[in-house]
Homo-oligomer: A and B are copies of this chain.
């Protein structure tokens, strides 16, 4: 069968249906009776028919492809996000053209090529991508949505966790547990995720009268987080609570504290992360962390992108998705405020202490 091009006419003849029925069968979202569909698929398979989606896209001016750019996969947040994105886009009849492997985003030449595929839209999902990329998309007339990253520009839509509220909750949780000496393991300083989490954490501590926050740079890598944690925990005035800007680093921080320094977590030091990735719930870590609700973030991103593709003229917007503080075993527990909800324990204080001093 290989080599020869089978036409939709041949498929229609073999299936005993009209040519338009064959066409509808291969058009995402088109309506067709299940029985007709079965006959067409069987005939198409027997003949080795391949509907020419590319030719169709030229005619329709739409490729039904969405480019997804992801900086790196090591932090499990990104595979989880990608998995969900692929499902949601597939359900809508879109295909996912993946670009990865460059933490700072694709080069100019690669970017030109992405646009060359006439993608209908683009999702940029990384803390590390330059916001210039989003500007270039707009210049090229390609709708774009940032995920897990905001920019200062009001001209780009983005979907992020509500990082400020989440980081404030971490501060309140640790204060309520009686902590007074705090450390922060920072992610990449220029990323919006780090900026929002660090600023809100620091502000909430200041509201409680605590102006000292020992800060070390972890750069969103495990090696960086390990080194940062060792520096924090070997100081004479070492903190007894450390907030790491994401789980990927918090896991390395826990290992540095326990395995390398022989400290007990949380008895000697509380450690809290951000994201609630899969390994956070593994019993050896049982990490207390703020969830980034992947499913809700992806839904919002896809919905925002589709609205732009449909050209509804909606203004660009930033969507902030709230996430719970999930309480496990890596941080001391406050006496009150932890509630069991749907199989998890979460931090839901009745009244937030505005000041602990």
A144-196: which have CB < 8 Å to B? Answer: none
At the interface, yes or no: A214 with Cβ under 8 Å from chain B? no
Min Cβ gap A340→B in Å is: 20
* B112–A41 CB distance below 8 A: yes
- Given known A-B contacts A86-B98, A90-B99, A118-B50, A41 and B2 have beta carbons under 8 A apart: no
In Å, the complex CA distance between A254 and B279 comes to 13
Given contacts A57-B54, A118-B54, contact A141 B101 (CB under 8 A): no
Q: How far is the CB of A91 from chain B (nearest CB, A)?
A: 9
Given known A54-B58, A90-B99, A282-B251, contact A1–B72 (CB-CB < 8 A): no
A351 interface hit (Cβ, 8 Å) = no
Contact among B54, B65, B254 with A284 in the assembled complex (CB-CB below 8 Å): B254
- Which of A12-20, A73-81, A233-241 binds B? A73-81
A73/B82 in contact, CB under 8 A? yes
CA separation between A73 and B63, bound complex, in Å?
A: 26
In the bound complex, CA of A182 to CA of B29 (Å) = 53
Q: What residues of B have a CB within 8 angstroms of the CB of A54 in the complex? A: 54, 57-58, 63, 116-118
CB distance from A38 to the nearest CB of B (A): 9
Q: Offer 26 A-B interface pairs, CB within 8 angstroms, sorted by A.
A: A1-B141, A2-B139, A2-B140, A2-B141, A25-B109, A26-B116, A28-B113, A41-B108, A45-B108, A45-B139, A48-B139, A50-B115, A52-B118, A53-B113, A54-B116, A54-B117, A54-B118, A55-B58, A65-B97, A78-B79, A86-B101, A95-B99, A97-B98, A98-B98, A252-B282, A258-B283
Complex CA distance for A96 and B106, rounded to whole angstroms = 14
Report A258-313 residues with CB < 8 Å from chain B CB: 258-260, 278-279, 282-285
Nearest to A42 among chain B residues (CB) is B108
Least CB distance from A201 to B in Å reads 25
Given contacts A48-B141, A95-B97, A98-B96, contact A53 B116 (CB under 8 A): yes
Does A95 lie within 8 Å of B117, measured CB to CB? Answer: yes
